[in-house]
Every structure is written in C-alpha cells, then in structure tokens.
Structure 1
Amino acid sequence: MDMKRFIYLMIIAFFILSCNEDEARPPFDNQEFYENHQAANWTKVSAKEHLQGKWQLTHTYCCPMSPNTGWASIEEGYFLLEFKGDSVKVFTNNSLDQTQYWEFDERYERSLYLETEAPISNTFGTIYFSEDYMLFNGSPSDGADNYFQKVE
C-alpha cells in the first residue's frame, strides 16, 4: 500500500470515529444546562406547565461509578413521555406502555422530582430544564442521566 493511500484511509477513519463520538453527545453543555435551569427560577407551578406535552428521550449518560460510563444516543420513537394535566402516558417503541397520575414530590421544596404510583423507567433523579430539554439527573445516586427533548 502506498503512503498516499494509507494517509487517505487514516484521515477517513479519523473523521468516521470523530463523528460517531460527537453524535452520541447531546447538543448542549451540561454546565450551561444547569445555569439555564437556575436562571429560570422554576417553581412547581411553572415546571408543571412547562412539562405539558410530549418529551422524547434523546440521550443517556451512564453511570459515573460503572465501568461502562459513556454517552448513548437513543433511537427516535424508543421512549416518549406525554404529560396532560396530572397524567403521564409512557410510550415505548411507539406503543402506549402505561398511563399514570403524577405530581412533584412535596418532600423537596426547591427540587423537582417526579412522583408516580409505579416507577417509570428513565425518570429517576432531580429534574432540570434548559429551554426545550429536560434532564432526569440520576447520577448522584449512581443512576443514569436521561435527557429528553420536547417534541410537541
């Protein structure tokens, strides 16, 4: 193999690997995400209003104490939450999986935690908002961080 061809193949491999790593990361910086949440001064009333609609799971980051720490992009249609008033519908693979009533956990005055009768996967941890993105921050308790984007 001549040197030109080798260099050409190395450049292509570099771009392919770089693109895959970037695609796995969400389109925002976590520090900016937290700053946006704090600046908005969310209350349980304003957060409940903002939650109304459909939220698509887009990325996960797992788990700080795990040997498999890393970002994962989630396939569109895999997991969706639809909030309407005090109910939430959970869709998995574009099929309705469950419907439950929800509220914010009242034990925590300034933090937002989703409370439902039965656990809903991907919704563990403190909720943070940044524009039309939502984070369930499960990592402080060794869970995954789950990132959603509002789609309706």
Structure 2
Amino acid sequence: MKNTIPLFLIAMILFSCKEDEVKPPFDNIEFYENHEAANWTKETAKEHLQGKWKLIYIYCCSMATSQEWAKIEDGYFELQFDGDSIKVFSEGKLEQTQYWEFNEHYEEVFYLETAEPISNTFGTLYFSENYMFFNSSPYDGPDNYFEKVE
C-alpha cells in the first residue's frame, strides 16, 4: 500500500497538469522579414537597444528531440542598455554590469560582445519592432526572445 500511494500521486500529476502548448505573440518568418525590411545598421541597432528589455520566451531547440516554447515570468531576467554599458537583472536584482559592443567581424550581422558571457544573449541578434531575439545554434542552443519595456 505504501508504494501505491506515491505511484498514484505521480500518475495524477503527470496526466492532470498538461497545459496547452505555449505560443509566442509573433511568427519567426514575419520576425525575420521585419528585421530585414528595417535595414538595420550597427548604429541604428545600438540606438534601438537602449533601454530595458525583459526575457519573455525561450524556444528550445529546433534540432533537439524536444522542441517547446517556454513563457518566462515577469522580472525573471532583464537587460538594461545604457550607452555602451549593459546591466543584467535576475529576479529584480542587479547581477552584473559590463561594457558591450557588436562583434566587428561581421558587417550586417549583430553579435553582442561582452568581457564575460551573459546568459540568454548567445547567437545572432534580430529585431522586430519592440521585440528582439538571440538566435542560438539550431543544433544545441535555445532561442531567447525579449520585449522592450522602457
């Protein structure tokens, strides 16, 4: 009887907690098209980055066996761009401040360069209005979607 109760509870949790699939408020094809249509330069992209951005979705991973969207709670992870500095907030607390720039090895592609790595900022950076995402490696990295809040 002792073994039956834990198994019953586990089964109830697994079968009763299935949520509808999380969907973001945008389509990636439209996102790419908006980015391309804006003809971003490093100067206009730097200007657009200024302000506060909150992480809103993570998509993992297009080539992995498990592909799913995860909606992120408000205040979990935020970036504050102020000129050439970036502040990283986790759960409302300032975690780090450092200088940033775009990687100069690429002309029309934006990669954020910092002295120390910042989680959720790996890969190519794209914009679509007041959203941005870091498109990580399609083989092993998640895509991180942000919304501008200030």
Please state which band the TM-score falls in when normalised by the shorter chain: 0.7 to 0.9
Q: Which has the higher mean CA deviation after the structures are superposed, 67-76 or 33-42?
A: 67-76
1:144 corresponds, among 125, 130, 142, to 142
Q: Where do residues 43-122 of structure 1 align in structure 2 (5 Å cutoff)?
A: 43-122=41-120
- Which ranges of structure 2 fall in alignment gaps of 5 or more residues? 1-16
SS of 2:73's equivalent? coil
Whether the 8 Å contact between 2:50 and 2:82 is mirrored in structure 1 is yes
Amino acid at match of 2:137: S
SS of 2:138's equivalent? helix
- 1:143: Cα distance to partner? 0.6
- 1:65: Cα distance to partner? 2.8
How many residues align structurally? 134
Change over 3 Å in CA distance of 1:41–1:150 after alignment to 2: same
Q: Where do residues 4-15 of structure 1 align in structure 2 (5 Å cutoff)?
A: none
The structure with the greater share of residues assigned to helix is 1
| Partner residue, 2:7 | none
Which deviations, in whole Å up to 9, do the C-alpha atoms of 1:93-142 show, x marking residues without a partner? 01000001000000011100000000000000000000000010003352
Q: Distance in 2 between matches of 1:136 and 1:84?
A: 19
Identity of aligned residues (%): 66
Q: Distance in 1 between matches of 2:99 and 2:139?
A: 24
TM-score (norm 2): 0.85
Q: Distance in 1 between matches of 2:139 and 2:99?
A: 24
| Partner residue, 1:20 | 20
- Which ranges of structure 1 fall in alignment gaps of 5 or more residues? 1-15
Whether the 8 Å contact between 1:25 and 1:59 is mirrored in structure 2 is no
